[in-house]
């Protein structure tokens, strides 16, 4: 058996310590709480980023092809879909879905209320996956009919504000520079959705793309923009740059990150918060472990003197205390993982901690943590804790047998 490991095992915490025993317990508690907080913080941040990013990417496509102009109003300039360009997009291996949309600002009027809205027209090939999951009442509109459908999908927030329910007729008015007066359309509420993101729920009403084409006087080949869904959402910006190099001169590329920079900037700030928490927890745990190691060495000064008298060198004695410190670290990590996984499981399955959806885009604290991240955190905490103890362990070299044996 390894000599250093054998000695360290014989003086395992709890056997012979007097003053060091409570200090060891404090060290274990410090590591446990630090690791639990790190796991909880990382799980919450990843959960927040993935939940909100999924909502943003689900409603607003990752990439949009738009006309290259200086038009900043809600009246979109038409984009003519050319067969050659569409064929090139379909052949792109990074793109897994293409859909055509258009937007038009209007005023939704009921008997007692009116509200400014954005009518978003989508085509028959529109990907309803996200809205289907967030459908609260009614059904999704069917835009595969021969004639332009009058069904619309309205948000729960607008429905509550305007006292609307499924099956109610709504009238939307539009003002355009091409027409002397206001244009109106009488539509029918087919379903009610709720994304939890106020940017969408307070503004957008989903309708048939052909309704907007008729309002704008466009032909069937003219749309407001082309939305592209990509296979790998982590490479949206890279894919957008590649597509930009191959599009005609009169078109431009816009990513969801460019369209809603404030949301993604806020999500990026969460990474900074995690780094701060991680550093603080490691510093606290590290200082506690360094103090614990010094106390263990001081309390065992006599043992150090005897081992040196018997011929043990400084490196061997340092290894004994590092083995013992490793034992303490591993116990702390065990309880820390137990606390962290316990919090994660409770929050993941029972949503114990709630949030205001209007401020945070979600109604509860989302958590997400995968095995690679879990193992990386544990490995990092363990290695950093050991590395922080190497330098203090050199204090043993200052202990001489003649002085040390006085403690016996």
pLDDT digits (tens, 9 = 90+) for 81-135: 988 889 999 999 999 999 999 999 999 988 888 899 999 999 999 999 999 999 9
Q: How far apart are CA 350 and CA 332, in angstroms?
A: 27
> Do residues 45 and 79 both lie within one domain?
no
Residue for token digits 């990752």? Answer: 62
pLDDT of residue 273: 84
Percent of the chain having pLDDT more than 70? Answer: 93
Task: Provide the pLDDT confidence category of residue 33 given band limits of 50, 70 and 90.
Answer: very high
The rounded radius of gyration (Å) of the Cα atoms in the chain is 32
Compute the average pLDDT of residues 266-281. Answer: 86
Q: How far is CA 405 from CA 79, 300, 318, 400, 401, in A?
A: 89, 10, 18, 9, 6
> Do residues 271 and 235 both lie within one domain?
no
> Strand 63-67 relative to strand 251-255: parallel, antiparallel, unpaired?
antiparallel
H or E stretch including 43?
Answer: helix 20-59
> Do residues 303 and 401 both lie within one domain?
yes
Compute the average pLDDT of residues 194-215. Answer: 93
pLDDT tens by residue, 380-397: 999 999 999 988 888 888
Contacts of 224 (CB under 8 A, 6+ apart): 66, 76, 78, 79, 101, 102, 103, 121, 212
Q: How far apart are CA 77 and CA 225, in angstroms?
A: 9
pLDDT of residue 198: 87
Compute the average pLDDT of residues 239-261. Answer: 91
The answer, yes or no, to whether residue 176 has pLDDT greater than 80, is no
Task: Provide the pLDDT confidence category of residue 379 given band limits of 50, 70 and 90.
Answer: very high
* Tokens representing residue 119 in the block: 């009518």
The answer, yes or no, to whether residue 175 has pLDDT greater than 80, is no
Average pLDDT, the chain: 88
Domain boundary among 259, 274, 304: 259
> Do residues 270 and 243 both lie within one domain?
no
Task: Provide the pLDDT confidence category of residue 356 given band limits of 50, 70 and 90.
Answer: confident
> Do residues 276 and 307 both lie within one domain?
yes
> Do residues 120 and 249 both lie within one domain?
yes
Q: How far apart are CA 130 and CA 147, in angstroms?
A: 25
DSSP string, 108-175: EE-SS-EEEEEEEEE-TT---HHHHHTEEEE------SSSPP-EEEEEHHHHHHTT--TT-EEEEEEE
Q: Which of 142, 64, 145 is nearest to 103 (CA)?
A: 64
The answer to whether 51 and 362 have CB atoms below 8 angstroms apart is yes
Compute the average pLDDT of residues 361-388. Answer: 92
The answer, yes or no, to whether residue 1 has pLDDT greater than 70, is no
The answer, yes or no, to whether residue 37 has pLDDT greater than 60, is yes
The answer to whether 205 and 143 have CB atoms below 8 angstroms apart is no
The answer, yes or no, to whether residue 315 has pLDDT greater than 90, is no
> Do residues 223 and 328 both lie within one domain?
no
The answer, yes or no, to whether residue 267 has pLDDT greater than 60, is yes
Compute the average pLDDT of residues 228-242. Answer: 92
Domain boundary among 259, 285, 310: 259
211 sits in the region (left: phi over 0; alpha: psi -120 to 50; else beta) called alpha
Which range marks the domain in which residue 201 is found? 61-259
Q: How far apart are CA 336 and CA 270, in angstroms?
A: 22
pLDDT of residue 405: 62
> Do residues 23 and 167 both lie within one domain?
no
> Do residues 205 and 278 both lie within one domain?
no
Residue 63: burial class (beta carbons within 10 Å; 0-12, 13-18, 19+): buried
> Do residues 219 and 340 both lie within one domain?
no
Compute the average pLDDT of residues 297-302. Answer: 80
Residue for token digits 């700030």? Answer: 269
The answer, yes or no, to whether residue 274 has pLDDT greater than 90, is no
What is the number of other CB atoms lying within 10 angstroms of the CB of residue 382? 17
Q: What is the tally of structural domains in the chain? A: 2
State the DSSP code for 77: P
The answer, yes or no, to whether residue 260 has pLDDT greater than 70, is yes
Strand partners, 364: 354
SS3 of 383, please?
helix
The answer, yes or no, to whether residue 307 has pLDDT greater than 90, is no
Q: How far apart are CA 299 and CA 294, in angstroms?
A: 9
> Do residues 226 and 275 both lie within one domain?
no
pLDDT of residue 181: 61
The answer, yes or no, to whether residue 217 has pLDDT greater than 60, is yes
Residue for token digits 């993101």? Answer: 197
Task: Provide the pLDDT confidence category of residue 403 given band limits of 50, 70 and 90.
Answer: low
Residue for token digits 């614990």? Answer: 292
pLDDT of residue 246: 86
Compute the average pLDDT of residues 44-59. Answer: 91
Counting every residue written for the chain, the total comes to: 408
> Do residues 74 and 47 both lie within one domain?
no
Domain boundary among 259, 275, 309: 259
pLDDT of residue 211: 94
């Amino acid at each position: 058996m390894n000599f250093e490991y054998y000695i360290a095992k014989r003086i395992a915490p709890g056997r012979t310590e007097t003053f060091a025993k409570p200090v060891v317990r404090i060290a274990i508690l410090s590591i446990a709480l630090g690791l639990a907080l790190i796991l909880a913080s990382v799980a919450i941040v990843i959960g927040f980023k993935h939940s909100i990013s999924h909502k943003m990417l689900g409603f607003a496509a990752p990439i949009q092809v738009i006309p290259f102009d200086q038009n900043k109003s809600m009246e979109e300039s038409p984009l003519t879909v050319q067969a050659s360009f569409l064929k090139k997009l379909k052949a792109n291996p990074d793109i897994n879905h293409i859909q055509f949309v258009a937007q038009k600002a209007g005023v939704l009027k009921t008997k007692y209320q009116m509200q400014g809205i954005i009518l978003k027209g989508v085509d028959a090939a529109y990907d309803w996956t996200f809205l289907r999951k967030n459908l609260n009442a009614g059904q999704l509109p069917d835009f595969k009919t021969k004639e332009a459908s009058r069904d619309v999908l309205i948000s729960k927030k607008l429905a509550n504000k305007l006292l609307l329910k499924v099956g109610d007729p709504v009238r939307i008015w539009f003002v355009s520079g091409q027409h002397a007066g206001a244009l109106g359309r009488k539509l029918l509420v087919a379903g009610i959705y709720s994304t939890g993101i106020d940017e969408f729920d307070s503004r957008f009403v989903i309708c048939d793309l052909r309704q907007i084409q008729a309002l704008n006087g466009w032909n069937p080949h003219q749309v407001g923009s082309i939305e592209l869904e990509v296979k790998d959402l982590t490479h949206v910006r890279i894919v957008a740059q590649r597509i930009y190099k191959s599009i005609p001169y009169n078109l431009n590329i816009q990513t969801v990150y460019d369209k809603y920079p404030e949301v993604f900037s806020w999500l990026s700030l969460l990474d900074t918060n995690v780094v701060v928490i991680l550093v603080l927890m490691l510093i606290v745990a590290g200082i506690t472990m360094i103090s614990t190691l010094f106390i263990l060495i001081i309390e065992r000064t006599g043992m150090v003197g005897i081992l040196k008298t018997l011929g043990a060198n400084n490196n061997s004695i340092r290894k004994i205390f590092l083995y013992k410190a490793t034992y303490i670290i591993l116990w702390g990590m065990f309880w820390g993982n137990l606390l962290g996984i316990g919090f994660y499981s409770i929050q993941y399955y029972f949503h114990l901690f709630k949030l205001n959806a209007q401020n945070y885009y979600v109604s509860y604290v989302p958590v997400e943590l995968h095995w690679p991240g879990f193992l990386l955190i544990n490995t990092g905490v363990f290695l950093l804790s050991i590395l922080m103890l190497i330098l203090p362990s050199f204090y043993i070299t200052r202990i001489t047998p003649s002085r040390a044996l006085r403690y016996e």
